[in-house]
């Protein structure tokens, strides 16, 4: 499955600008200089609030789902990349959405990408 996903990620990235969330895309595309690797994170309380608001879950359900999802993501990432999930050294940019908010994170990512894109094209 990972090999197939990696092929799809490389193909999509080679076809032009795109956003790929998860699936070890930062690792799969590690040799490409035109990739901006971003990690967006937040503290548990902000994540619980956001998930409860979006999916209308109770606190117990929310916490359980966050923990389960975090374990799955970390296991997948650590296994296939050989790196530590969430380690800032794996990324070009790490943003705390609990502090900045999602809209601000999006604007920052766009701004940094545009700045880097100008360098890539120069």
Written as one string, the DSSP assignment of 19-65 is ---STTHHHHTTT-TT---EEEE--HHHHHHHHHHHH---HHHHHHH
Instruction: For the chain, give the longest Cα–Cα distance.
Output: 51
The H or E element that residue 10 is part of is helix 2-14
**C-alpha 95 chain-centroid distance:** 10
Q: Whole-angstrom Cα distance, residue 26 to residue 20? A: 9
Predicted pLDDT at 108: 98
- For 17-27, how does the pLDDT look when each residue is reduced to its tens digit (9 = 90+)? 899 999 999 99
Q: What is the residue whose two structure tokens read 């916490």?
A: 63
**How much is the pTM?**
0.87
Q: What is the residue whose two structure tokens read 């800032």?
A: 88
Beta carbons of 21 and 75 less than 8 angstroms apart = no
Beta carbons of 50 and 42 less than 8 angstroms apart = yes
- For 72-109, how does the pLDDT look when each residue is reduced to its tens digit (9 = 90+)? 999 999 999 999 999 999 999 999 999 999 999 999 99
- For 34-47, how does the pLDDT look when each residue is reduced to its tens digit (9 = 90+)? 999 999 999 999 99
Predicted pLDDT at 122: 65
pLDDT band at 56 (very low <50, low <70, confident <90, very high): confident
Of the candidates 31, 18, 24, the residue with the CA atom closest to the CA atom of residue 3: 24
């Amino acid at each position: 499955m990972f090999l197939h996903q990696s092929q799809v990620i490389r193909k999509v990235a080679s076809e032009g600008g795109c956003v790929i969330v998860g699936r070890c895309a930062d690792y799969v595309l590690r040799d490409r200089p035109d990739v901006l690797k971003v990690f967006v994170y937040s503290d548990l309380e902000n994540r619980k609030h956001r998930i409860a608001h979006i999916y209308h879950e109770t606190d117990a359900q929310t916490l359980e789902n966050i923990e389960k999802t975090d374990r799955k993501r970390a296991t997948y990432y650590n296994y296939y990349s050989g790196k530590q999930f969430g380690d800032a050294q794996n990324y070009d940019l790490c943003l705390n959405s609990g502090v900045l908010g999602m809209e601000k994170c999006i604007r920052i990512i766009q701004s940094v990408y545009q700045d880097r894109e100008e360098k890539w094209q120069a």
